Structure 1
Amino acid sequence: MAFAPQDPRIPDPSDPVVQEARVDYVPTPISVTRARQHATRLIADWGHPALADDTALIVSELATNAMRHGHVPGRLFRVQLTLTKTRLRIAVSDPRSERLPRPRRPSPRDAHGRGLLIVRALADRWGVRERTVGKEIWVELDLTAPRPKTC
């Protein structure tokens, strides 16, 4: 896993996009569930069911953060999945940019604050990109990397 500050949107001609999907969601708890389910279904349909569990967890954590911390009344958050020949890119964007996310070290008694630690542990690369309006948190999973077994 590495934090990569460069912009991963720059196309790599040797690694073309194979599949792509994006959905905008209302920032509510049911939207987090729907985003997770949609992402899991897409990854399986795209032929990578071994990535489904990690994808579900990453989307769930990032969508929850967008709902809780990136919420602006009347604005949506977006989940975008991009599959290339070598990697899956998961990006969640929201309309707030004044508070960029950073992993923190919660105490054992803290009920929250572990989401980005989980994302960081699962990602091969991840980063935060400021947008004209808001921010995007992106994660990349290599298709060739062996995935650790989850319980």
Structure 2
Amino acid sequence: MPEPTTFRIPKHPRSVPEARAQVRKALADWGLPPELAADVALVATEFVTNSVRHCEVTFSLVEVTLSLQDGQLLLEVSDPDKEKTPAPRTAGQHDENGRGLAVIAALTNQWGYDVRRFTKCAWATFPLPEVAPACSG
């Protein structure tokens, strides 16, 4: 089983594509299917975007961790603003924002957040694909 992967990026909008690329690379290095990697990268993008947009701690970093636990992939995105927690809302038909957490709910087994000692951590779990037994010939 691969070791967890953790990286930090500046809390800035131009860091979001970098986070998505690093998630995709880590999952490709682990040999996970491209479909799963695309879903995890999209959820990571949503969580990182929320941290960038809502964290009010100046000059902070956003931390992204990927790990495999109990047959699932765990994605964690942390920032130091413990006051701004994720809250689903209903987006109007013409609203440009407000659908990210609905997308996250649709793509994950489960998602939530924890307030930790120094950070708030949004997390999501994804099922790992079954590995087909090798065919014997």
TM range (shorter): 0.7 to 0.9
Tell me the matched-pair count: 129
8 Å contact from structure 1 (residues 92, 137) kept in 2: yes
CA RMSD of superposed structures (Å): 1.5
When normalised by structure 1's length, the TM-score is 0.80
Matched, 1:67 2:52: yes
1:44 aligned to 28, 34, 38, which one?
28
Following superposition of structure 1 onto structure 2, how do residues 17-96 of structure 1 map, counting pairs within 5 Å?
18-49=2-33, 50-84=35-69, 86-96=71-81
- Stretches of 4+ aligned residues off by more than 2 angstroms: none
Structure 1 SS opposite 2:75: strand
2:57–2:80 contact (8 Å) kept in structure 1 = yes
Query: Which residue of the partner structure matches residue 115 of structure 1?
Result: 100
Percent of residue pairs identical: 36
* Counterpart Cα distance in 1 of 2:60 and 2:84: 16
Unaligned runs of 5+ in 2: 131-137
Deviation at 1:83, TM superposition (A): 2.0
Contact 1:19 1:46 in 2 (8 A): no
Distance 1:85-1:47 versus aligned 2 partners, 3 A rule: farther
Query: Taking structure 2 as the reference length, what is the TM-score of the superposition?
Result: 0.87
Instruction: Report which structure shows greater RCO (CA 8 Å, sep ≥6).
Output: 1
Counterpart CA distance in 2 for 1:85 and 1:18 is 13
Gap runs ≥5 in structure 1 = 1-16, 146-151
Q: Secondary structure at the match of 2:44?
A: helix
Partner of 2:124: 139
For residues 82 and 90 of structure 2, what CA distance do their matches in structure 1 show? Answer: 22
Secondary structure of the 1:19 match is coil
- Counterparts of 1:86 and 1:19 in 2: how far apart (Å)? 14
Q: SS in structure 2 opposite 1:30? A: helix
Shift of 1:85: 5.9
